[in-house]
Amino acid sequence: MPLVYADSSALFAYLHPNDEFSVVVDAAVQKDLPDFVYWPWLRYELRHNLRMARTDADGEVAWQALRASEKTAARLRWQDELTADKMLDAAEELSTEKARGIVCGSGDYLHVAAARRLNLLSGIDEFWTCDAAQAKLARDAGLKTRLFKSGRS
Amino acid sequence: MTEITSKELHEQTGSVLDSVKRGQRFRVLRNGTADALLVPANEEIDPSWDEIMADVRKARAKGGPTRPNPILAERRKRNYAARLRR
């Protein structure tokens, strides 16, 4: 199973049946069968957005799928190395290197810094996102990156 | 799946682990209750994405309008620096 760092935009799209990127992200998962990196910031951002989406049956289905995948040891692979304090330092370092050239939010820098750190420590296969600016940052940080384009109808 | 008591497991640990290595699966009973499973280390025990996502895919198949990704929407709203550079 490849290990992929999917940022919260991609994981939300995968889990929510009506998201504009849902179809394209699900197709990629069905093709590559990846397991995903999981750590505190990603968990918080994903859970927060899925909680807010629990306003109808589709939001509830998405929430239940998240909870089922969190119960596994493999589909969402918890990374002990990616602690919040260490990753804030890593993001600070990445920001120092890139922020004048690549415009992205602070949360985006945190995702890419965590992926870059994990890639150095144990290797990841790819970085997935639905966010063009973040994809640019990830590529610039040396990560093999996949940017999803909206299949919005 | 073969049932085995915790006493039997204690007395025959080596041969039970040899059997597990060959692919046999055991349900370990303590006081008649199943407390643990022994499965080969190379066997998948977590559910697959297909199993986890069955209901999500069913909901998607119903169709209906798609919605903007909320995380991208939030990032766009907060991206002051990009607006300053325009």
CB contact under 8 A, A9 and B69: yes
Question: Does the pLDDT at position A37 exceed 50?
Answer: yes
Is the four-CA dihedral B12, B18, B22, B28 of positive or negative sign? positive
Which among A20, A22, A72 has CB closest to B46? A72
The tokens of B31 are what? 């006081």
Summarize the confidence of residues A128-144 as an average pLDDT: 96
Would A96 be classed as within a structural domain?
A: yes
The tokens of A123 are what? 């290797």
Residue A57's closest chain B neighbor by CA? B59
Helices (H), chain A: 8-15, 22-32, 40-52, 57-70, 84-98, 106-121, 132-140
Would A26 be classed as within a structural domain?
A: yes
pLDDT tens digits, one per residue of A69-122: 998 878 999 999 999 999 999 999 999 999 999 988 899 999 999 999 999 999
Question: Does the pLDDT at position A151 exceed 70?
Answer: no
Question: Does the pLDDT at position B60 exceed 70?
Answer: yes
What is the ipTM for the molecules in this complex? 0.88
Counting one residue from chain A and one from chain B, the pairs whose CB atoms sit within 8 A come to 103
Question: Does the pLDDT at position A140 exceed 90?
Answer: yes
How many structural domains are present in chain A?
A: 1
Summarize the confidence of residues B41-62 as an average pLDDT: 88
Would A123 be classed as within a structural domain?
A: yes
User: A76-78 and A3-6 as β-strands: parallel, antiparallel, unpaired?
Assistant: unpaired
DSSP designation for B37: E
Q: What is the residue range of A48's domain?
A: 3-147
Centre a 10 Å sphere on the Cβ of residue A63 and count the other Cβ atoms it contains. Answer: 17
Is the four-CA dihedral A13, B73, A37, B36 of positive or negative sign? negative
Q: What is the pTM of this model?
A: 0.81
What's the pLDDT score for residue A5? Answer: 98
Residue A140: CATH number of its domain: 3.40.50.1010
Give the C-alpha separation, B10 to A59, whole Å. Answer: 47
Would A153 be classed as within a structural domain?
A: no
Q: pLDDT band for position B81 (50/70/90)?
A: low
CA atoms within 13 A on the CB side of A148: 30
